[in-house]
Amino acid sequence: MIKHFILQSYLIQSSKRILLFIITTIFLPEANLSAQDTSPALVVNWDSIIMVSKTTPTLQVVENPAVRPSSSIHANTFKALKDLGADYVRYVPWFPYPKMAVAELRAPTKDSTFWDFTYLDSTMEAIMNATSGHSVVINFSTTPSWMWKINYDMPYPKDAYEAFWAYNDGSELRDTTMKELAGYYARLFSWYTKGGFTDELGKFHKSDHFYKIPYWEVLNEPDLEHNIPVEMYTKMYDAIVGAIKKISPETKFIGISLAFNARPEYFEYFLNPKNHKPGIPLDGISYHFYGTRSYADQPLQEYQYAFFDKANAFLEKVRFIESIRKRLSPTTTTTVNEIGTIIGEMDGNNIPDDYWNLSGAMFAYIFIELTKMGIDVAGESQLVGYPTQFPDVSMMNWKDGKPNARYWTLKLLKDNFGPGNKLVYSAVNNADIISQAFITSAGKKILLINPRNKESKINLPSEAIIETIYSVDGSNEENGIAQTKPAGNSITLKPFDVKVIQLK
């Protein structure tokens, strides 16, 4: 069934592109190719507004040793985050590093509690400083192991930087009333927003943190982590949200955070207000997508097809999920807050140089399509990965802390596009070039993407006067975004090139 669905989606997308080619070649005069110039032609109708965007491009930061203050790339990493200036930055302390993700690693006894924020505080402080003036989505996704029925004491490493993949064992909470769970998150939230909290034995723990947390996401990928059924997840969401809402009525909440988005029963159940306690808000939902190669040892020349084919299959799922959301809870927002590519090169030694540009091009394409569907947030994953910790999803070079093409593509999109932009009709008579024209507060702009590992040329409309071209094409190693001011209207796109054309 899954293979059939992907094939069907591919055929639909292929048919759309063939139809677009026919329309732009035969019926649109400006698209007809002259005998002297056989380059594809872009057609833009600036008076034909398709929609107004409400989509914000952003990213996620995952806690790991490479982002810690002791890391050699820590300073460069958080400078890059600050320079990006993005809203809705998602921060996730993650279960493979229990000491960096869990504030109470041992269950309280009748005379002692074991709260410890030593590792949690330092990265949280770096995140809040780097995003000052911008919104954040905080997700302390890992629940203490002692809250789960596992019949043993979790033997997590003493070394905080040693990965431990067994920490999320257990499928049933020991306290089915979920008061224990809600209490943990209420205290954790209070530590960061109210200057401290009172523990289970009545002792006050002072933090001096008074952060503003506008968005809190409840757990991460529950369909993977603890394999939580949607009915149980909904109860956990209600308990956590209810407890935090009492502390911070203005905070909004994001739920579900699925790894596998082909689970309509999750959305059908969670988005139905009847399945929640009275007063529990359904502010937002989230889910994830990673483009992958089709088989082991697949060469880069074929990644270009695998990534975009799978992106198109994912976008069809987004349309289906949106139909469920609009039917059950139309005021709920949607954030696709992990978008990336994974090729399984865990040692990082066999990742081709052009891979980063290809991955960035795929993100740019998904950003355009999510914008057209009215998705609220498109988040690239992730700021820092490194060998053994998903190096292929990194936006930074884990050796020297310099941003790679995935980072620069996000910055290019963030600096030029966002909510309030008007999307206008644009088309190109070449299925291998992706385009979208925008009217922004800074004027008319055109986004061009080359999803293929070959050079392509395109002619802009004759009346278009180019002011500047901004490119992520591998030509500018210093800051990643090249600026040119070409004469004429013929544009050359390098392999996996992403360009923004600023018009006068």
User: Going by DSSP bridges, is the β-strand pair 422-428/42-52 parallel, antiparallel, or unpaired?
Assistant: antiparallel
Asked if 142 and 158 sit in the same domain, the reply is yes
HEC assignment per residue over 446-464: EEEECCCCCCEEEECCCCC
Selected residue with higher pLDDT from 135 and 16 = 135
Closest alpha carbon to 143 in 90, 103, 174, 189: 103
> Residue 10: its pLDDT value, please?
37
309-363 pLDDT tens trace = 999 999 999 999 999 999 999 999 999 999 999 998 889 888 989 999 999 999 9
Quickly tell me which residue has 């080619």 as its tokens: 21
Asked if 436 and 450 sit in the same domain, the reply is yes
CATH of the domain at 299: 3.20.20.80
> Residue 292: its pLDDT value, please?
94
Give the range of the structural domain holding residue 369, as residue numbers without chain letter. Answer: 56-418
Neighbours of 136 (CB within 10 A): 25
Sign of the dihedral through C-alpha 72, 74, 79, 85: positive
> Residue 233: its pLDDT value, please?
98
Determine what percent of the chain is predicted with pLDDT higher than 90. Answer: 85
What does the pLDDT average to over 298-304?
A: 88
What does the pLDDT average to over 99-115?
A: 97
6-38 pLDDT tens trace = 334 433 444 444 444 444 444 444 434 344 556
Question: What distance separates the 2 farthest-apart alpha carbons in the chain?
Answer: 87
Give the confidence band of 417 by pLDDT, cuts at 50, 70, 90: very high
Asked if 18 and 91 sit in the same domain, the reply is no
Asked if 301 and 271 sit in the same domain, the reply is yes
What does the pLDDT average to over 253-262?
A: 93
> Residue 37: its pLDDT value, please?
57
Exposure on the CB side of residue 106, measured as CA atoms within 13 A = 10
> Residue 5: its pLDDT value, please?
34
Asked if 409 and 457 sit in the same domain, the reply is no
> Residue 405: its pLDDT value, please?
97
Selected residue with higher pLDDT from 277 and 476 = 277
Asked if 97 and 235 sit in the same domain, the reply is yes
Partners of 204 in beta bridges: 198
Q: Domain end: 397, 418, 439, which one?
A: 418
How far apart are the C-alpha atoms of 127 and 211, rounded to whole Å?
Answer: 11
The pLDDT mean for the chain works out to: 92
> Residue 100: its pLDDT value, please?
97
Sequence-distant (6+) residues with CB within 8 A of 327 are none
Asked if 239 and 118 sit in the same domain, the reply is yes
Q: How far is CA 265 from CA 84, 192, 262, 317, 340, in A?
A: 37, 34, 9, 13, 24
Give the count of domains, the chain. Answer: 2
Judged against a pLDDT cut of 60, whether residue 304 lies above it is answered with: yes
State the helix-helix crossing angle for 355-372 and 405-416, rounded to 10 degrees: 30
Asked if 281 and 144 sit in the same domain, the reply is yes
CB 181 within 8 A of CB 175: yes
Asked if 331 and 457 sit in the same domain, the reply is no
Q: Domain end: 418, 433, 468, which one?
A: 418
Asked if 291 and 390 sit in the same domain, the reply is yes
> Residue 11: its pLDDT value, please?
39
> Residue 12: its pLDDT value, please?
41
> Residue 300: its pLDDT value, please?
81
How far apart are the C-alpha atoms of 365 and 312, rounded to whole Å?
Answer: 10
CATH of the domain at 17: 2.60.40.1180
> Residue 13: its pLDDT value, please?
44
How far apart are the C-alpha atoms of 483 and 501, rounded to whole Å?
Answer: 10
**Rounded to two decimals, what is the model's pTM?**
0.91
Asked if 180 and 89 sit in the same domain, the reply is yes
CB 61 within 8 A of CB 127: yes
43-96 pLDDT tens trace = 999 999 999 999 999 999 999 999 999 999 999 999 999 999 999 999 999 999
Asked if 353 and 499 sit in the same domain, the reply is no
> Residue 36: its pLDDT value, please?
52
Q: Domain end: 387, 418, 449, which one?
A: 418
Question: Helix, strand, or coil here: 331?
Answer: coil
What does the pLDDT average to over 166-183?
A: 97
Q: What b-and-e string marks burial along 242-251, b requiring 16 or more CB atoms within 10 Å of the CB? A: bbbbeebeeb
428-458 pLDDT tens trace = 988 899 999 999 999 999 999 999 999 999 9
- Residue 67 burial class via C-beta count within 10 angstroms: exposed 0-12, middle 13-18, buried 19 and up: buried
How far apart are the C-alpha atoms of 30 and 15, rounded to whole Å?
Answer: 22
Q: How far is CA 76 from the centre of its chain?
A: 21
